[in-house]
Chains A and B, each alone.
Chain A
Amino acid sequence: MHTLASLRRGQRAIIKHFSVEDVPLKLLEMGCLPGNEVSLVQQAPFQDPIYLNINGSHLAIRKATALLIEIELI
């Protein structure tokens, strides 16, 4: 199972699933929804936080959150 934390530069993926309990609603509202395409723009040192492009929405999240979001590489 891949999570957002394992995404590398140049790879593209689809967001599959995440637990409602642990992932804040705000992330959804900002465009991080199941079914959306995601790619990695940049990583800070130690791969934390990561800077993502989710269907045109540019967001940065921490590794801890990224580990909760399942993806499927395409």
Chain B
Amino acid sequence: MGRQINVALLGNPNTGKTSVFNRLTGLNQKVGNYPGITVEKKEGVCTLERGLKAHILDLPGTYSLNASSLDENVVIELLLNKNDKDFPDVAIVVADVENLKRNLLLFTQIKDLGIPTILAINMADRMKRKAISLDIEQLEEKLETKIALISSRKNEGFETLKQYITQYASLSVKPCVNASSIAPEYFNRLEKAFPDQDLYKLWLVITQDVNFGVLERGALKGIATFQTESTSNLKRLQQKETIARYQFINEVLKETLAIDTENAKDFRSRMDRILTHRIWGYIIFFGILLLIFQAIFDWSSYPMDFIDSTFAAFSEWTKAIMPPGDFTNLIAEGIIPGLGGIVIFIPQIAFLFLFISILEETGYMSRVVFLMDRSMRRFGLSGKSVVPLVSGTACAIPAIMATRNIESWKERLITILVTPFTTCSARLPVYLIIIALVIPEQRVLGIFSLQGLTLMFLYLLGFGAAIFSAWLLDKVLKIRSKSFFVIEMPNYKVPILKNVMITVVEKTKSFVWGAGKIILAISIILWVLASYGPGDFNRAEEIIAQQTVGQQLSETELETKIASFKLENSYVGHMGKFIEPAVRPLGYDWKIGIAIVSSFAAREVFVGTLATIYSVGSEEEETIRNRMAAEVNPVLGTPIFNFASGISLLLFYAFAMQCMSTLAIVRRETNSWKWPLWQLFAMSAIAYIVALAAYQFLK
């Protein structure tokens, strides 16, 4: 084993930091979470030379060390904790050549912590077109570090960067801005109180409203007196610090950076004139949304159909080649359909993240936030809520994670609480199968399919519910939070294919491993509960034989009778019977009751459960749809899935909070059980009442 050095990759958002990470590590990366919080932790390994490797940690993008979000806290907590196993031997600050001035602010802060810091100036390929010239040698001298001019798009400059990482030990760690020069009086007092502490670090600890659980507090006794210094005074000092840093940067860049501004009037402003236009901007945005929906519903149906039939065939094939018995049944009827239920969502999730990552990479997403902010604010949301609400149509989990960049806590909380109303891809299979059963295959005005319109109505209903409840929450919630909003409008860029692909693969993987595990486990548990039972279950053949004495029944008729008797008396049958009184007023029978109960873990389980329930013990291969259509109410003799019960079921699924994973994410993002429980209760109550009203009215 060779030596390994710890490298932290830092930088402002929109500097191409992630593509630098992808270039350095290739596919040699793993994405996880920081313990206890849902901030993504990306790390990878890069070989520098023989026997020397770099462990590279891609830290969340941040504008400065003054944290204002969870993501930014991660950065400062790591950089202040020398005992962390990831504490960097060397830091790389990635900067965008077109925004060098602003990007250098973070660079000076990190260098001032006494960490060797390399500056990587990215997008060097744009310098010529933008008429930017840089005197690298002089800049290196002034910043007292090494600077690599790189281009992750063209894969240039990375050998130099690696070489600098290798030689990190020779880098100067002299601070750029002397902390005590910012406010001499204050810092002298601080120095007297803590003679052997680094002033800048002390200052960061005092001003940050973060939880430094891991920081050695012992050495900092008495710091509270400095913290109680009036907050406005601290704020003024922070402002002074920022201004002092910018003065230093201006001084440095005055002689080293030249931009021919005449040349910079360009593509960007022409694009902005159209894309953020008060009319065209919206038309284009809705056009793009339409395209995304088209992809999710139409294009992905081809791979989905293929996956569906492949798994059905695989299940049949397994039954045919394996010896009959419990084990074969478990595999063919429990595990394989369960796996199929996960894989089938992959095309939709991949398409959604393909679009989202392209929109992010090009810089268009910020324009959407700009366009939508005002209208969203009317409902207590932020322009930045658009991304979560749109992503929510794939899955609420990444969507809720995407709320993190909303600065105002109230706007962020409301976004988290209402996002699960948007129609996620897990609701889609439930909608599709019920719509196919209860909505006639007709056309309206000769073009629009009635079934398609119903589906669109359900999507609009989800959005409507989200917006309306946001408005209501905005009125009800008494949270005082400053609603400030600053968003960078990055340059337009052609997306780098590799970045887009890595995002799609990562997100799909996290769905398969995250939600997939739950779905598979529930499918197996359900199969077991449906295949075994107490008492009469085990004497099914005897009992049916007694009941049918004297009747002329064929072999198959007899078997069907036994199978349905078994299901009714299985464990799951008993559970369904138990809750039947609660769901009967909504028009459901005990089988649908079981499906609803099991979908409280995850909605997509509904179809799987019905598939399991209806296929347990039946021999012939038949689609779930036909079986569901054939279900008859034993008392009335009418189909179970009729118009009234179907609509009631659709509405129930539109509103109910039936996803354990979402609840778990909400718990983590809000750091309390209060909000997810509240969400669970309120959404389920709305779902029950609306479904009840619909059934009773339509019946």
Contacts and interface: CB of A to CB of B under 8 A. Distances in A.
Interface of A: 20-21, 23-31, 33-34, 41-46, 48-49, 51, 55-62, 64-65
Contacts of A59: 486-489
A46 B489 contact: no
Contacts of B66: 25-26, 29
Contacts of A20: 232, 235-236, 239
Given A41-B269, A56-B101, A62 B373 contact: yes
A25 B239 contact: yes
B142 interface: no
Chain B residues touching A, range: 35 or more
Nearest to B369: A60
B409 to A, nearest CB: 13
Contact of A45 (B235, B278, B483, B487): B278
Nearest to A24: B484
B99 A25 contact: no
B103 to A, nearest CB: 10
A64 B382 CA distance: 14
7 contacts: A24-B407, A24-B484, A25-B66, A41-B269, A44-B374, A56-B259, A61-B487
A56 B99 contact: yes
B235 A21 contact: yes
Is the contact region of chain A dominated by helix, strand, or loop, or is it mixed? Answer: mixed
A10 B77 CA distance: 44
Given A41-B269, A46-B374, A56-B99, A28 B276 contact: no
A51 B235 contact: no
Interface of B: 63-64, 66, 68, 98-99, 101-102, 105, 232, 235-236, 238-239, 242-243, 246, 259, 269, 272-273, 276-278, 366, 369-371, 373-374, 383, 407, 482-490
Contact of B246 (A21, A33, A43, A65): A33
A44 B269 contact: no
Given A42-B272, A59-B489, 19 more contacts: A20-B232, A23-B484, A24-B486, A26-B64, A26-B484, A27-B484, A28-B239, A29-B242, A42-B273, A42-B277, A44-B371, A44-B374, A56-B259, A57-B99, A57-B488, A59-B487, A60-B369, A60-B486, A64-B483
A30 B485 CA distance: 12
Q: Which of A27, A30, A41, A55 has the most CB of B within 10 A?
A: A30
Contact of B242 (A33, A55, A62, A64): A33
Given A42-B273, A44-B374, A51-B370, A61 B488 contact: no
A58 B370 contact: no
B696 to A, nearest CB: 43
A62 to B, nearest CB: 5
A31 to B, nearest CB: 5
A65 B484 contact: yes
A30 B259 CA distance: 19
A33 to B, nearest CB: 6
Nearest to B282: A45
Contacts of B371: 44
B377 to A, nearest CB: 8
A59 B63 CA distance: 13
A53 B432 CA distance: 48
Nearest to A27: B486
B242 A28 contact: yes
B63 A30 contact: yes
Contacts of B485: 49, 60-62, 65
B272 A57 contact: no
B275 to A, nearest CB: 9
Contact of B276 (A44, A61, A65): A44
A41 B99 contact: no
Nearest to A64: B483
B235 A49 contact: no
B63 A26 contact: yes
